[in-house]
Amino acid sequence: MLSAANGLAARWTSLEPGATVDVAAEMTLVTLNVLAVTIFSGGIGGDFDEFRVAMNAYFSVIGRIGMLDLFGVPKFVPRPGYRRLRHTMAYFEAVIDTIIHARYQRLAALATHDGPDDLLTLLLRSLDPSTGRQLSPTEVRSNILTFLSAGHETTANTLAWSIFLLSQVPEWRSLVVEEAQRELSNPRDDLADRLIVTKAVIEETLRLYPPIAALSRAAVDADVLGEIPVKPRSLIVIAPYVLHRHRGLWSRPDAFDPSRFLPEARGRIPRFAYMPFGVGPRTCIGSSFALQEAAIVLAVLTRHFEMQLLPHSEVWPLQRITLRPAKGLPMRLIQRRAL
């Protein structure tokens, strides 16, 4: 995480002084880099940019919920956009399958339990606790696709929104810069735990702009919610975006105030008032990973750069699978500190 963040800071340093970048797009790149190294430590081979474009096209079709889904049309009926993007999607699946196959052969050839220390090795070696069997190649591929889709835009949007919010609030920006100077000059192994203010900024960002703004559950059985009867199989939508700004649950709900998440106050937040990662058995498996990553990347970038929103920019949330800035986030980069 630290080296991906430093890599991005180095690239920004090589731009013209005062250059403008779309921070939202840049965050998507850095979170993809982190995932690519975590899943396939040896990289993806081939052209990373081509992979990224194909991946975005893939998820734009796979992740879209359209009329056909709402009316329960079976999955084998191609969704809009599928035909146009068929080749790109096939390319993306083929790249993943090639990496899995090569790794499978590499691990099989090893006499010991050595091998690259990454998520792909873990998936290929893990055994289903109930049957004792290994995952099939299709299951390994599905897991990788899930991690890429669930872990990429969500964390990228968290970072983009936190940078936007800090650009509006100099007091908290100074506190993050101060913490980053202190903790990053000689980073320790427990760096993420030491970025207390930065993590509070991230958690407050997740309150105001939860990347998954609404979750759904289907009722297994008849139930009653408050006074409302629920029929079996009803779809219930729970909206963190609404809960997180609810006047009955939060004081000054629309204000950006990370102090709510500082250690001395954090425990006072009711469990069901704050759920950017969901709750219950299906809660996000990557929440600690995401919080660490977002805190480290935010600290590194804020330490080196003042990121200024362009004058007259309109920043507005748009819910499209994840909650993102509708027109991206064009910002001017002023280098604060040489690398």
Residues near ligand HEM (CB under 6 A) are: 146-147, 150-151, 154-155, 158, 211-212, 215, 276-280, 282-286, 289-290
Q: Give the Cα separation of 315 and 160 in Å (integer).
A: 11
Q: Give the Cα separation of 155 and 223 in Å (integer).
A: 34
CB of 321 to ligand HEM, least distance (A): 11
Q: Which is nearer to ligand HEM, 27 or 54 (CB)?
A: 27
Q: Which is nearer to ligand HEM, 59 or 333 (CB)?
A: 59
Q: What is the DSSP string of 128-140?
A: -TTT-PBPPHHHH
Query: Which conformational region is residue 112 in: left (phi greater than 0), alpha (psi within -120 to 50 degrees), or beta?
Result: beta
CB of 35 to ligand HEM, least distance (A): 6
Q: What is the DSSP string of 64-75?
A: ---HHHHTT--T
CB of 290 to ligand HEM, least distance (A): 4
Encoded tokens for 51: 């992979």
Q: Which is nearer to ligand HEM, 197 or 212 (CB)?
A: 212
Q: Which is nearer to ligand HEM, 51 or 161 (CB)?
A: 161
CB 304 within 8 A of CB 9: yes
Q: Which is nearer to ligand HEM, 256 or 333 (CB)?
A: 256
CB of 78 to ligand HEM, least distance (A): 25
DSSP classification of residue 273: G
Q: Give the Cα separation of 334 and 18 in Å (integer).
A: 5
CB of 56 to ligand HEM, least distance (A): 17
CB of 156 to ligand HEM, least distance (A): 9
Report the DSSP beta bridge partners of residue 307: 333
CB of 317 to ligand HEM, least distance (A): 14
Q: Give the Cα separation of 287 and 278 in Å (integer).
A: 10
Q: What is the DSSP string of 43-57?
A: ---S-HHHHHHHHHH
Encoded tokens for 134: 């290994």
Q: Give the Cα separation of 298 and 159 in Å (integer).
A: 7
Query: Which conformational region is residue 323 in: left (phi greater than 0), alpha (psi within -120 to 50 degrees), or beta?
Result: beta
CB of 277 to ligand HEM, least distance (A): 5
Q: Which is nearer to ligand HEM, 158 or 167 (CB)?
A: 158
- In 123-221, DSSP assigns E strands to 215-218
Q: Which is nearer to ligand HEM, 108 or 237 (CB)?
A: 237
CB of 316 to ligand HEM, least distance (A): 19
Q: What phi and psi, each to the nearest 5 degrees, are found at residue 9?
A: -60, -40
Q: Which is nearer to ligand HEM, 132 or 281 (CB)?
A: 281
Q: Which is nearer to ligand HEM, 111 or 218 (CB)?
A: 218
CB 101 within 8 A of CB 137: yes
